[in-house]
Structure 1
Amino acid sequence: MFKRSPEELLDELGRLENVRMVQESSPCSRHYDRYVVRGEAELHPMNRSKLDPTPIEIQLRDIGRGGLGFICQENLRAGSTWRICFTKRGFVVGQQAVLVKHVHEVDDGLFLVGSQFIIDTGLLALLGVDPAEIDREDSEANAEDEDISFLPPADVA
């Protein structure tokens, strides 16, 4: 699979906006308004037992109070959890945990992803939720992924 340049991704976002304008003539069932945004960000897996910690580069499409839309060159699994790092000029300016709700291939090797904001698993642990339970949920959800190898936190230390 070849990597597309940021300019090519922005062109694809422009094409998708034309599709959105046609769809907006029909009633929408969103809880919150979405705002068109453009920017780069990185996705990091929330599952600490994922073997490949390399971030996935994404291009932002839209954002609202409840979620985020973006395009990327990876076929993310619906139901997977990620930490998105918003970047500006190469520096991380904010982070948010997201749950992938839907993924649609819009072009060969290019995916439109809809995500919902969720509470960060690190914060759950600080509030008393057992980290092993959090990792177990992520591992069960990703059991079919070949890139996943679950190790209990005690075995990693």
Structure 2
Amino acid sequence: MKQIIRADLQNAIHQQGLIACLDAYARDPMGGGEPLAEDAKLRLINGLLRQPANVNFLAQHGTDIVGAAVCFMGYSTFRARPRLNIHDLCVLPTHRGQGLGRLLLQSVADYAREQDCCAVSLEVRTDNRTAQTLYRSQGFGHLDSPMEFWVKPLC
């Protein structure tokens, strides 16, 4: 049975499942092709717990955690309403193609509606056609905006 649940970051099983999913994502070519650093694995849960705006979802197949969505609540000043960003969305390679990514996206959108969010946002690699197809099927798309996403690395 497939289901999506809200992650409880105090639950050791949820912690381990989230870290395993994010590590698998990092190892994938679309995630950079390298495993999560051991120190990142050790800091991840406590770091998320210190972020009050984090909202996490887990995909389960039976009792196994096989996917995750790590989200952060933000705020749209122009719309004067909350906005939910999907920071990471991943499904273990062994469970892809079974609709779990779609279920995760639907659960995130349902939560965002409950929180009166004006939008759900995410980033996608320009070469990740599979993810783009999934996201488009769920109503995501380019904004007609001159804005670009820029980053200043600090570490």
TM-score normalised by structure 2 residue count:
0.26
Q: Point out the structure with the larger strand share.
A: 1
* Larger gyration radius, structure 1 or structure 2: 1
Q: Point out the structure with the larger helix share.
A: 2
TM-score normalised by structure 1 residue count:
0.26
